[in-house]
C-alpha cells in the first residue's frame, strides 16, 4: 500500500538512496502503540518538545549574553529591556526549566507506578535516569549564568560539596572553580558546559527513543501486547492526543510566562552577585529541594565519615539508586494496578518526596531536621528494603489475558482504583 508521501517521485528518489522517509513512516506513523495508553503517557513527547524549546530559546539568549562577572548581570537586563522580545525569550527559558522538571518528574513517577522500568525496558529506564542527571547539571549551571546573589551562592554551596571527598576534596574544588573561589573562570566554564550539555541530553533522548521503539511503550495494565488487535498506529491516534496535551500544557505555561514569570524564581537573584554578602537563606531552585533536604539530613559523623561526606553520598545516591531499580523490584507484575501493596507504597513514596521538598525549602532547624531524617531514611528504605521484600511477600492480583480484554473479575476492581 503506497502512502501518499511515497507517490511523490522526488520522495521516492531520495528514499531509495537515503531511507529517511521510510524510517519516519515506520517510527512516527505506523509505529504500533498499545491502544490503552492513558494521559500519563503524554509526558514523554512533551518533555522532548520542551527540550527543543529550551535549546532554541537558549541559543537566542546566548547571542546576547556576556559570560563575565562584571557584565553577566547587566547583559541579562539588556536582554530583558533592549533585545526585541528578549523578556519573552528569557521568561520562556527560565520557566521552561521548571516546566521541564515538572514534566520529567511526572514522567518518572508514571514509570514507577506502571513498572515501566522492568524487563525488557531496563536500559530504556537507565538512559532516562542518565537524562535526569544531565538535566540537573544543566539546570544548575544555567541558574548560575545571570550572576545574581542566588546564582553565586548556590554555585558556591554546591561546588563546595566536592570538598567532602576524602584527601583530594579541596584540590577537586579548586580545579572545578578554576581558582580559589567561584569567580570568572567558574562562570566561563559553566557557560560553556551549559551550552554543551543540552546536546548531550538530546543524544541521550535519541538513545532513549531507540530503546523505547525496540519493544514499544509499556501500558497501564503492564502486560505485553498479544497481537495486532492490542495496538494502534501512532499516527493519527497518538499524534493528535499528544498535540492536544501539548496545547493544554502551552496554555498553562503561557499563563506563567506572561502573568507570573517570576513565580518559580527567587527575588534575591535580581540582586547582582556579591561575594562579600551572604544571603540569609541560600535555597536552590524548587526542583532540587528534595535532594537538598537529603544532603542536609545527616547531622552526625559516623565513625571516620564526616556528616558532610555522608550527606553528599546520600544525595547523589538518591538518584544513582534508580539505576538499580529494575533489579531491586523483582515482582513479575509491572502495573501497580495489580499490586495492592505496591500501589499504597507508591503514594507513600510520592508523599515522601514532597515532604523532602518541603523540608529542603525550610531552614534546617528544630523539627525540620527530624522530619528530613525520617523522610530520607524512608526514601532509601523504599528502594533497598521494602521493594525487594515486597517482590517476595506481595500476592499480586490476576492480570488480564490481553490489552483488548482487560475486564476480568480481579482487574475490574483493581483498575477502578488505579490512576486514571
Partner 1 sequence: MRALALSLAVAAALAAGPRAEAAESGAAPPAVGWSFDGLFGTFDRAALRRGLRVYTEVCAACHALEHLHYRNLAGIGFGEAEIKAIAAAVDIADGPDAEGEMFERPGRPSDRFAAPFANENAARAANGGAYPPDLSLIVKARPGGADYLHALLVGYGDPPNGMTLHEGMSYNAYFPGRQIAMPAPLSDEAVEYEDGTRATVAQMARDVTSFLAWAAEPELEERKRMGVKIVLFLIVLTGLLFAIKRRIWARLH
Mind telling me the catalytic residues? 213, 217, 241-242, 285
Q: Using CA atoms, how far apart are residues 348 and 113, in angstroms rounded to an integer?
A: 12
Is 267 a binding residue for partner 1 by CB under 8 A? The answer is: yes
CB atoms inside a 10 Å sphere around CB 55: 16
For 10-72, the DSSP string reads HHHHHHHHSTHHHHHIIIIII-EEETT--GGGGHHHHHHHHHHHHHHHHHHHHHH---STTTH
Residues 305-334 that bind partner 1 (CB under 8 A): 307-308, 311
Q: Closer to partner 1 at the Cβ: 269 or 331?
A: 269
Q: Does 88 bind partner 1 (CB under 8 A)?
A: yes
- With the CA atoms of 384, 390, 396 and 401 taken in that order, what torsion angle do they form, in degrees rounded to the nearest 10? 30
Q: Can you tell me the distance from the alpha carbon of 69 to that of 81, in angstroms, rounded to the nearest whole number?
A: 20
CB 352, CB 379: distance < 8 Å: yes
Using CB under 8 A as the binding rule, whether residue 171 contacts partner 1 is answered as no
Distance (Å) of CA 155 to CA 183, 259, 391 = 10, 29, 41
By CB under 8 A, the residues from 342 to 401 that bind partner 1 are 363-366, 369, 372
Tell me whether residue 270 or residue 380 sits nearer to partner 1 (CB atom).
270
Window 191-210: contact mask with partner 1 (x via CB under 8 A):
--------------------
Q: Which is nearer to partner 1, 192 or 274 (CB)?
A: 274
- In the complex, the smallest distance separating the C-beta of residue 81 from partner 1, rounded to whole angstroms, is 6
Residue keyed to cell 473479575: 409
Helix/strand/coil for 68: coil
The verdict on 244 binding partner 1 (CB under 8 A) reads yes
If the CB atoms of residues 167 and 259 are measured against partner 1, the closer one turns out to be 259
Smallest CA-to-CA distance from 261 within 80, 58, 62 is with 80
- Shortest distance, position 151 Cβ to partner 1, whole Å: 13
Q: Which of residues 92-151 bind partner 1 (CB under 8 A)?
A: none
User: Could you tell me whether strands 231-233 and 32-34 are parallel, antiparallel, or unpaired per DSSP bridges?
Assistant: antiparallel
Site residues (CB under 8 A) for partner 1? 35, 74, 77, 80-81, 87-88, 153, 156-157, 160, 180-181, 232, 236-237, 240-241, 243-244, 247-248, 250-251, 254-255, 257-259, 261-262, 267-268, 270-271, 275-276, 278, 280, 282, 295-299, 307-308, 311, 363-366, 369, 372
Amino acid at each position: 500500500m503506497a502512502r501518499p508521501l511515497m507517490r511523490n517521485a522526488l520522495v521516492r528518489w531520495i528514499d531509495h538512496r537515503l531511507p529517511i522517509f521510510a524510517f519516519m513512516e515506520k517510527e512516527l506513523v505506523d509505529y504500533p502503540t498499545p491502544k490503552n495508553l492513558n494521559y500519563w503517557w503524554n509526558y514523554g513527547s512533551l518533555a522532548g518538545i520542551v527540550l527543543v524549546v529550551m535549546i532554541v530559546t537558549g541559543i537566542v539568549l546566548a547571542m546576547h549574553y556576556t559570560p563575565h562577572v562584571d557584565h553577566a548581570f547587566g547583559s541579562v537586563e539588556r536582554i530583558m529591556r533592549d533585545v526585541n522580545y528578549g523578556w519573552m525569550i528569557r521568561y520562556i527559558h527560565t520557566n521552561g526549566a521548571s516546566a521541564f522538571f515538572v514534566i520529567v518528574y511526572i514522567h518518572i513517577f508514571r514509570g514507577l507506578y506502571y513498572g515501566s522500568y522492568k524487563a525488557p525496558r531496563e536500559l530504556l529506564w537507565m538512559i532516562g535516569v542518565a537524562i535526569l542527571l544531565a538535566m540537573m547539571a544543566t539546570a544548575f549551571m544555567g541558574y548560575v549564568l545571570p550572576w545574581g546573589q542566588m546564582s553565586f551562592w548556590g554555585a558556591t554551596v554546591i561546588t563546595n560539596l566536592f570538598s567532602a571527598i576524602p584527601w583530594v576534596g579541596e584540590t577537586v574544588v579548586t580545579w572545578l572553580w578554576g581558582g580559589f573561589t567561584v569567580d570568572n573562570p567558574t562562570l566561563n566554564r559553566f557557560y560553556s558546559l551549559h551550552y554543551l550539555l543540552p546536546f548531550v541530553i538530546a543524544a541521550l533522548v535519541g538513545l532513549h527513543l531507540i530503546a523505547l521503539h525496540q519493544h514499544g511503550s509499556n501500558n497501564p495494565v503492564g502486560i505485553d501486547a498479544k497481537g495486532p488487535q492490542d495496538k494502534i498506529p501512532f499516527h493519527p491516534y497518538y499524534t493528535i492526543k499528544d498535540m492536544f496535551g501539548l496545547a493544554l500544557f502551552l496554555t498553562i505555561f503561557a499563563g506563567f510566562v506572561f502573568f507570573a514569570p517570576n513565580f518559580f524564581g527567587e527575588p534575591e537573584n535580581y540582586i547582582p552577585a556579591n561575594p562579600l554578602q551572604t544571603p540569609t537563606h541560600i535555597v536552590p531552585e524548587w526542583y532540587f529541594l528534595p535532594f537538598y533536604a537529603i544532603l542536609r539530613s545527616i547531622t552526625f559523623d559516623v565513625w571516620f565519615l564526616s556528616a558532610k561526606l555522608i550527606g553528599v553520598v546520600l544525595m547523589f545516591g538518591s538518584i544513582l539508586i534508580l539505576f538499580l531499580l529494575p533489579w531491586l523490584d523483582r515482582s513479575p507484575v509491572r502495573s501497580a494496578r495489580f499490586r495492592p501493596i505496591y500501589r499504597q507504597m507508591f503514594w507513600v513514596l510520592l508523599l515522601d518526596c514532597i515532604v523532602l521538598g518541603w523540608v529542603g525549602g525550610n531552614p534546617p532547624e528544630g523539627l525540620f531536621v527530624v522530619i528530613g531524617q525520617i523522610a530520607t531514611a524512608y526514601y532509601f528504605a523504599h528502594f533497598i528494603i521494602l521493594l525487594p521484600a515486597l517482590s517476595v511477600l506481595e500476592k499480586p492480583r490476576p492480570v488480564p489475558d490481553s490489552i483488548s480484554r482487560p475486564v476480568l473479575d480481579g482487574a475490574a476492581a483493581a483498575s477502578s482504583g488505579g490512576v486514571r
